């Protein structure tokens, strides 16, 4: 592969990392903090309670979530394009794309369909709203979300083969594998008990995953910088 092409693929990966970093940061702690300050939802009790406490700011995390997903796919695409042995990176890209497609669909429901049902609420649509809103821990959307991230985790697990034997890349490889294990475990726990996602263990898991994914992105970015420097020194 020509050096110029590799450099362009590295730049693609760096942009993907930046977008994913901003998406993770803003869709997680920053946007959730904003929601908490402006209009948080109380613990799920009924559709009527949900509707009476709904505010457009509650959809903000999902918009930034699109950046997280788009950046993640771009990172995986760059890994596939840079890799000489493309088997596992291709599987990583495929599973990441599947997972992101599921989560994209869910975020579309949360920022478009759910608000529309709230603004035009009639009791007859209550069961549909309960089925879709992520304020309900037993909703269809939580199942889609957690399994989507499970597939995304399988993607990072396969993509770990991209990293080489340097100290920096070994650490990145471990982070990619750990993310895969935790994400798949989260999906399996969800299959066993969907309600756990909004309980204390689920919320702690959510916070830890955000921290892990931010660190993973930073290390990926550092690896790309290192590889770019190595190319320029040749």
- What is the per-residue DSSP string for 152-178? HHHHHHHHGGG--SSHHHHHHHHHHHH
Phi, psi for residue 44 in degrees, rounded to 5? -60, 125
Token pair belonging to 25: 């940061």
What pLDDT is recorded for position 39?
87
Q: Render each residue's pLDDT in the chain as its tens digit; 234 residues.
A: 577 788 999 999 999 999 999 999 998 888 888 888 888 899 999 999 999 999 999 999 999 999 999 999 999 999 999 998 999 999 999 999 999 999 999 999 999 999 999 999 999 999 999 999 999 999 999 999 999 999 999 999 999 999 988 999 999 999 999 999 999 999 999 999 999 998 988 888 988 999 999 999 999 999 999 999 888 776
Q: List phi, psi (to 5°) of 40.
A: -75, 155
Angstrom distance (rounded) from CA 231 to CA 225: 10
- The pTM score is 0.92
Per-residue pLDDT, 234: 67
Q: Report d(CA 172, CA 26) in Å as an integer.
A: 23
Buried/exposed 155-166: b ≥16 CB within 10 Å, e otherwise? bbbbbbbbbeee
Of the candidates 157, 149, 141, the one whose C-alpha atom is nearest the C-alpha of residue 106 is 141
Please report the pLDDT score of residue 31 as a whole number: 80
Q: What is the pLDDT of residue 46?
A: 93
Q: Which helix (H) or strand (E) holds 203?
A: helix 200-233
* Cα separation, 134 vs 143, whole angstroms: 10
> What CA–CA distance (Å, rounded) separates 152 from 100?
7
Annotate 60-98 with three-state secondary structure: HHHHHHHHHHHHHHHHHHHHHHHCCCCHHHHHHHHHHHH
Angstrom distance (rounded) from CA 168 to CA 123? 56
Given this model, what pLDDT does residue 69 score? Answer: 97
């Amino acid at each position: 592969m020509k050096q110029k092409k590799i450099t362009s693929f590295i730049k693609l990966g760096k942009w993907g990392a930046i977008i994913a970093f901003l998406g993770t940061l803003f869709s997680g702690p920053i946007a959730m903090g904003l929601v908490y300050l402006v209009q948080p939802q109380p613990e799920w009790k009924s559709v009527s309670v949900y509707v009476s406490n709904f505010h457009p700011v509650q959809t903000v995390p999902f918009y930034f979530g699109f950046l997280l997903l788009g950046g993640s796919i771009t990172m995986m695409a760059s890994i596939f394009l840079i890799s000489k042995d493309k088997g596992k990176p291709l599987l990583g890209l495929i599973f990441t794309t599947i997972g992101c497609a599921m989560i994209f669909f869910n975020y579309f429901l949360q920022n478009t369909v759910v608000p529309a049902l709230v603004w035009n609420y009639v009791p007859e649509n209550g069961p549909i709203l309960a089925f879709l809103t992520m304020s309900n821990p037993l909703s269809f959307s939580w199942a889609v979300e957690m399994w989507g991230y499970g597939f995304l985790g399988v993607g990072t697990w396969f993509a770990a083969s991209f990293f080489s034997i340097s100290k920096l890349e070994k650490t990145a490889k471990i982070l990619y594998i750990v993310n895969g294990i935790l994400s798949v475990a989260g999906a399996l726990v969800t299959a066993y008990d969907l309600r756990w996602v909004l309980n204390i263990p689920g919320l702690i898991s959510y916070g830890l995953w955000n921290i892990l994914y931010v660190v993973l992105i930073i290390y990926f970015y550092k690896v790309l910088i290192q590889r770019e420097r190595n190319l320029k020194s040749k």
